Amino acid sequence: MKSDRREFLESLGVAALGGLLLDRANAVVHGAAQSSPPSGPPADLPRDLLGAEQANLGTLYPEVFKLAERNRYALSFLEDDYRDVDEWKRQARAKVFETLLYRPEPVDPAPQLIDRADLGDHVREKITFRTTADFRVPAYVLIPKGLKKPAPAIVDLHSHGGMFLFGKEKIIDFGTNHPAMTTYHQRNYDNRPTATALVRRGYVVIVIDAFMFGERRVLLDEDMAAGYDRAKYSVDQVAALNEKCRSKESTLAKSLIFAGLTWPGIVVHDDLRTVDYLVTRPEVDPDRIGCVGISMGGYRAMFLAGLDDRIQAASVVGFMSTVAPMIHRHVDTHSWVHFLPNLHRWLDWPDVAAMRAPLPLMVQQCRQDALFPLAGMEAANAKIAAIYAKAGAKDRFADRFYDEPHKYTLAMQEEAFAWFDRHLKT
């Protein structure tokens, strides 16, 4: 089968991509692809997770990796059984929804307006809307002033970064930001939160709190003692409560498994239902919607874009790798939200991202990103490229590497925003 796959890739003119996938996998197996991570933690990583070494399983690693390398990702479009991309997407998406273990019945979003602020060049609304019969999700909608017709829109997906007290606020500039957010914006977004930058570029932007973050975090006694008004929290209080919340990640993940659900399932479902609400807005052109996110936001963008063709252009930032090489020492650098039981029996992360083929996809990666092995990042991009080529859409996939640590720099933002303009404004 391996030789058949290589022959097929050669027929598409992408033999180098297929070869890179195979060569990288072999290098990882024999240890040649393991390089030392850059010094210091990546910007979007909880401060105490300083080293990929924490994930090393010692003598158990060869046994675990032996099990992992047997997995051929049976639902990848690169398997010889698949020729029709639409049929493959139907089967692959069905499997992803099956592994997410969470697909409640659709509900009316029933939005409620909480606050509306005129900020000169745009309006910021705070709302809540329903994603299920159980949840009302808090969100901000940013609307450019002076729209003459429905505008393109972006679902902007916030990151993790060990910051639980704030969610949607991570990517909005309120003018006067909490000191913890000022630091977060500098460290992760080069001092330019993306949602505010995008609305000033002419996009309607929606940002929600992912489950476990912001107004949906685990509330503790210390919150009540501080009065729950986050504007009154000191930086030290934010740090202490973040640690408390982070200690509850495994509790949440395990509890949801006992409930027959998954944490990623809830996060992905809410993001999909965000699009349901967004297309009801009169300011939004439903045929021109994109999504973007870095780190956990990139993880969310990968699923949202892979599962919903209403997303016409997607940018996954700082989150892409094949998963097998991560077992060596990049597992504990990731949140529990990134682990979806049973998914990787069928699909690798690049397979999930490529489920949006032939629609446009950009993947932006940082070579100094300590959350992922460089070999895994390169192999993932090669696999996505091979899938897009097989789908007859090789020009619709753009991958970029930057000599940066884990961060969404101004240069990266500018390239992604110009790419959105090309696909959503013309």
Q: Rounded to the nearest 5°, which phi and psi values hold at 285?
A: -85, 110
Q: Are residues 170 and 237 in the same domain?
A: yes
pLDDT at 223: 82
pLDDT at 368: 95
Q: Is the whole model's pTM more than 0.85, yes or no?
A: yes
> Are 400 and 364 within 8 A, CB to CB?
yes
pLDDT at 12: 41
Q: Are residues 94 and 128 in the same domain?
A: no
Token pair in block for residue 316: 């996954």
- Asked whether residue 423 is assigned to any structural domain, the reply reads no
184-225: pLDDT as tens digits: 999 999 999 999 999 999 999 999 999 999 999 998 887 887
Final residue of a structural domain among 274, 291, 308 = 291
| pLDDT average, residue stretch 4-23 | 43
Q: Are residues 15 and 90 in the same domain?
A: yes
Q: Are residues 186 and 326 in the same domain?
A: no
- Asked whether residue 77 is assigned to any structural domain, the reply reads yes
Q: Are residues 127 and 256 in the same domain?
A: yes
- Asked whether residue 56 is assigned to any structural domain, the reply reads yes
- Asked whether residue 415 is assigned to any structural domain, the reply reads no
User: What H or E segment, with its residue span, contains residue 271?
Assistant: helix 263-278
CATH number, domain at 130?
3.40.50.1820
pLDDT: which is higher, 297 or 12? 297
Q: What is the mean pLDDT of the chain?
A: 89
User: In angstroms, rounded to a whole number, what is the distance separating the alpha carbons of residues 287 and 312?
Assistant: 7
Look at the alpha carbons of 168, 334, 336, 96 in this order and tell me if their dihedral is positive or negative: positive
The total of other beta-carbon atoms located within 10 Å of residue 352's CB is 25
Q: Are residues 117 and 36 in the same domain?
A: no
Helices H / strands E in the chain, number of each: 14, 9
22-62: pLDDT as tens digits: 444 344 333 333 433 334 444 454 444 444 445 578 888 88
User: In angstroms, rounded to a whole number, what is the distance separating the alpha carbons of residues 204 and 207?
Assistant: 10
Q: Are residues 45 and 125 in the same domain?
A: no
What domain range is 124 assigned to?
112-291
Q: Are residues 145 and 287 in the same domain?
A: yes
Q: How far is CA 86 from CA 296, 309, 356, 357, in A?
A: 27, 11, 10, 9
- Asked whether residue 414 is assigned to any structural domain, the reply reads no
> Are 171 and 205 within 8 A, CB to CB?
no
pLDDT: which is higher, 231 or 124? 124
Say whether pLDDT at 123 is over 90. Answer: yes
pLDDT at 408: 97
343-400: pLDDT as tens digits: 999 999 999 999 999 999 999 999 999 999 999 999 999 999 999 999 999 999 999 9
Say whether pLDDT at 276 is over 70. Answer: yes
- Asked whether residue 64 is assigned to any structural domain, the reply reads yes
| pLDDT average, residue stretch 74-90 | 96
Final residue of a structural domain among 249, 275, 291 = 291
Give the ranges where 145-230 is alpha helix by DSSP (H): 179-189, 194-199, 221-226
Q: Are residues 205 and 277 in the same domain?
A: yes
- Asked whether residue 368 is assigned to any structural domain, the reply reads yes
Half-sphere exposure of 248 toward its Cβ, with a 13 Å CA cutoff?
16
User: What H or E segment, with its residue span, contains residue 383?
Assistant: helix 374-390
Q: Are residues 11 and 74 in the same domain?
A: yes
Q: Are residues 190 and 263 in the same domain?
A: yes
User: In angstroms, rounded to a whole number, what is the distance separating the alpha carbons of residues 414 and 410?
Assistant: 6
- Number of structural domains (the chain) is 2
pLDDT at 370: 92
Q: Are residues 160 and 282 in the same domain?
A: yes
- Asked whether residue 314 is assigned to any structural domain, the reply reads no
